[in-house]
Structure 1
Amino acid sequence: MESPNPDIAAKPGSRAWVVMAMLLVFMLINYADKAVLGLAANPIMRELGLSHSEYGLLASSFFFLFNVSAVAVGFLADRFPTRWLLFGMALVWGLTQLPVVAGAGFAALLASRIVLGAAEGPAQPVAMHAAFKWFPNEKRSIPSALISGGGGLGGVVAAPLLTLVIINFGWRWAFLSLFVVGVLWCVIWAVVGREGTADRASARTSAEPEPAADFRVPYRRILLSGTWLAGFVGAFGAYWTSALLLAWVPSYLETSLGYSAVAAGTIVTAPWVLKTVATFGQGALTQWLMHRGVSSRVSRGILGGCAVFLAGAAMLLVPVVSHPALKIALITVAFSIGAVKFAIGQTINAEITPPAQRGAVMSMTVGLVTLAGLAAPYVTGRIVESAADPATGFALAFAIPGTLMLVGGLLAFAFVRPERDARRIAAHGRRADQQEPHPSPTGS
């Protein structure tokens, strides 16, 4: 295992933000890889002769190994340098685009999406874990927002550009462009990527009960806490929504609302823009609130609950309204602001989890939350195919994530209490370590 560079440990500031910039681009590429299939949905279905349910299966295939890989690599992230785990993931992303470029049919495209999903499953939690190595708890809101916002930024940048490539050159060329970008990122990351040392610094200097690097607790104490469980429900609904945005919203705009491919590609950018603004804004607002002494329960838990609740309400209203401008506005809100739950939720998970288990907990969270991505595209395809018309089918399909997000928001208001649960979890950890005690930061 590589040792931290002492010069980097002494002066983490500039290097930390170089690493953050690369992680932001990493997540941009991550979401572009996901989004390309949805942007090319109609030409793919026409060329390969796919039904709605077959395309839904293709979109869901991305998540076949996504969850298992997220959990497995998360445990590795607690034992090996995140620098090389991130490099390996990005390299596989690029290579999986090549079979598509070479003229893959349905079977090969299905296989490439499964492998891509396996390589992308651990992306967000490992990137978060890598970022949190550079920042103490009270300064993690902006880094977590940047990483989560990288997905939204990917949609802002990728949706119009990939749509232009698909229209002018064909859908396979869009996959080729993602191969080139992914390999280029790997080359740069191999030069500038490093491991941070903030956890060790916090353990040495903080008077707060932030766990030392080797401090551990039973995982059930974390995953059965009210904070984790309430956050999971809201994140599950938000991820179901994100999966629909990637896989079905472009097609919905064309088939149900009558927009052209160019117009749909432009409209679908709006949720990505608002998602990016909301995620970055949440990070700045949360960090400002905490700096002024506002509790994590309010600045993270209540704020995240409000975002998910509003997104759920907007989702349920989308099929009800008929005015085109209002419908687009509701679509924009429904498919965007709930995503702030990903940044807030993982920051809260890091707050209640010992550093030695942080990568595993965040990855297990992603593995469970993204089960929504496995189900959402295929379930939606079956609902749309079985309905009297696509518009009716989409209305029924949208009710699922809308309800999940409403419930998740209400649960967050009642049960997300990071400070309380962090103390309870730490107390169980200390009792578990009594036979092999470790010195606490307070010396007690």
Structure 2
Amino acid sequence: MTRSDHPDPALVRGWCPGARRPMESGDGFLVRLRLSGGVMSATLAGDVADLARRLGSGLIDLTQRANLQIRGVAAGDVDELIGELDALGVIDPDAASEAVRNIVASPLAGLDASAPIDGRALTHALEAALVADPALHALPPKFGFVVDDGGRCGLGDVAADVRLTGLATPEGPRVLISIADRPGHARPIAVVAVGEAAPSAVALARAVVRLRADLAETPRRMPELIARVGLDALLAAAGFGAAMAEVATLPRPGGANAVLGDHTAGPVGFLGLGAPYGRLTADRLALIGDLAGERGSGELRLTPWRAVLIPGIAPEKMGRIRPWLTAAQFITSADDPRLAVVTCAGSSGCRNGGRDTRADAERLAGLARRLAPGGTTLHLSGCEKGCARPGPTPITLTARGDRYDLIRDGRAWDAPWLAGLTLDEAASALADLAPF
């Protein structure tokens, strides 16, 4: 395989790599695994770790869509890696089927007795329907779905064009269907029986494909489409009636804060481990795979918060496990300053990166946490694409060459508040902006 086999993703927003559609980056080819529901067996974790060592650089990304990316694959090794993954049964038969399965599911689906619906069953039904209809393979690359089982791990902070959320009602379990009518907002449109949820989501997806085909400049995401054609036109094309009124639902904890650390004594016993800046190594993946196989239930659950859950670990086993996790530098506490920073691969892994953003993140994490006591406060972007975080952040540092532009409450490509900062100057600016 040569570089000419694939479009150049440099500075192309919307490119989505996969296992069947690898992407060349600054450290070789990147091969993404889109695991169904984010569920990974302990055995598969060991197999993927071995492949990452043997055919890649040994570095593995955990993405914000709960996917894994094997990094640093040489051009001459790409076909062998794809063949090995195919033999493991973890990749789709073609790139189109792989791309359309852009679904984030509740990490504890099938394990959480508080969830009103079986999120795994709904995820599998939606995946099968999306793959089976060739017309849906024309959906934009980043068009995505969320299947939220309504249990203890809320997915309200995860971006989605179409959102399916389990509800407990007096009539029994139901699914709330919502769509993104504007960035960061989910507009409820219907409540349906569980068995109707996947067909309803597919009807919306088909409507998106048809409406996009009639537009000269095709929108990539649901909010853009609604802005062009209107909500009523979309609902009519999908066979829905008028959109329902807003639905009052109780807020549920979500995000890294809700899953990190020792939850082994809870109603759904699990251990939550954060991957620093979304990066695992083959050794780290092998370690947690071994823990899952020897001390847990035999599987890992990947989350969209760049954390991995190990279900089934007994509380009394944690004493022996903690030293291993500390040595491997996993994030095990919600107050870890590294959680304040989101960053891309930077110059060490991307041809467009002006600086080694991951190394800079280590320098700036403590200052970033001082900007606010929780949440992401700093986005380090190696270039103006802003791949790691397309939305606004309190502070964004965008590398331009070897220096940073500082943007306040904006995105990587927005106008800077300060420009041309060295790393030391950027650190000083963060210190000056910190309220405590």
Relative to the length of structure 1, the TM-score reads 0.29
Name the structure where strand makes up a greater proportion of residues: 2
Q: Which has the higher contact order (CA 8 A, sep 6+)?
A: 1
Structure with higher helix content: 1
